Amino acid sequence: DTAVSQTPKYLVTQMGNDKSIKCEQNLGHDTMYWYKQDSKKFLKIMFSYNNKELIINETVPNRFSPKSPDKAHLNLHINSLELGDSAVYFCASSQHRTGQAYGYTFGSGTRLTVV
Amino acid sequence: SQQGEEDPQALSIQEGENATMNCSYKTSINNLQWYRQNSGRGLVHLILIRSNEREKHSGRLRVTLDTSKKSSSLLITASRAADTASYFCATASSGGSYIPTFGRGTSLIVHP
């Protein structure tokens, strides 16, 4: 049973397109996150939701819009894709927003390539 | 937001040797965590140490935390080829929004 699952695993698309990445967790966690990992492996937090409420919104272009229909899902929609958006996007969840109890559980990532 | 930084960026050792990686951070933390990432995969949680703890063990892993120096170290003893991966530290800051931030990782290669 996959704890944090994100789809698709790979996404190749042209500049200017709009795309979505979906994430679901079956752990009953309260908090979910989106991270972007660049080619140098630097992981940067993008968004965090706690019980469907946005609690972290780092400096991310407003072309990126997270949506959390319920606390088990956090989707990421990206408008007008640019070449610089190419990266691996990771969804994660934690029982508490500090990750205090058991840390963060990550999905396997979505490799986005914009051509 | 604060950011953990791992050192060294890359480490290459022989199987059986110990591997030590360090992490430094800038502001007060609630806890610090270490993760492993195999090539092309997601991050896997290894160990969490709270700000009031100084050392923690899990199998061949030993983590230390020095809050006065704002640093942590991860020691992998008797390394194996399967330990080849990138290792990241993550800090959850105390107070405020508890933004979980990661460093750039240490790339460990263990040669058989």
pLDDT digits (tens, 9 = 90+) for A26-62: 999 988 999 999 988 889 889 888 888 887 777 788 9
SS3 call for B97: coil
HSE of B41 in the Cβ direction (CA atoms, 13 Å)?
13
Q: What is the pLDDT of residues B67-109, one digit of tens each?
A: 999 999 999 999 999 999 999 999 877 766 566 788 889 999 9
Task: List the single range of A1-5, B19-23, B34-38, B56-60 with lowest mean pLDDT.
Answer: A1-5
Element (H, E) at A34: strand A31-37
Query: Does the beta-carbon distance from B42 to A104 stay under 8 Å?
Result: no
Collect all residues of chain A within an 8 Å Cβ-Cβ radius of residue B45. 102-105
For a pLDDT cut of 90, what percent of chain B falls above it?
A: 68
Inter-residue contact B11 to B1 (CB < 8 Å):
no
> Quick one: pLDDT at residue B28?
85
Phi, psi of B82 (to 5 degrees): -70, -10
Interface of B with A (CB under 8 A): 1, 30-31, 33, 35, 37, 40-45, 48, 50, 86, 88, 90, 92, 97-102, 104-105, 107
pLDDT higher than threshold 60 for residue B2: no
Q: What is the DSSP letter of B7?
A: E
> Quick one: pLDDT at residue B3?
63
> Quick one: pLDDT at residue A97?
64
Q: What is the DSSP letter of A103?
A: -
Interface of A with B (CB under 8 A): 4, 33, 35, 40-45, 48, 55-56, 58, 90, 92, 94, 97-100, 102-109
The two three-digit tokens of residue A44, written as one number = 């940067």
Q: What is the pLDDT of residues A87-110, one digit of tens each?
A: 999 999 988 766 566 788 999 999
Chain A / chain B CB contacts < 8 angstroms = 75
The two three-digit tokens of residue A103, written as one number = 């840390």
Query: Does the beta-carbon distance from A98 to B31 stay under 8 Å?
Result: yes
> Quick one: pLDDT at residue A53?
83
Q: Is residue A4 packed enough to be buried (19+ CB in 10 Å), middle (13-18) or exposed (0-12)? A: buried
Binned at pLDDT 50, 70 and 90, residue B1 comes out as very low
B1: nearest CA in chain A? A58
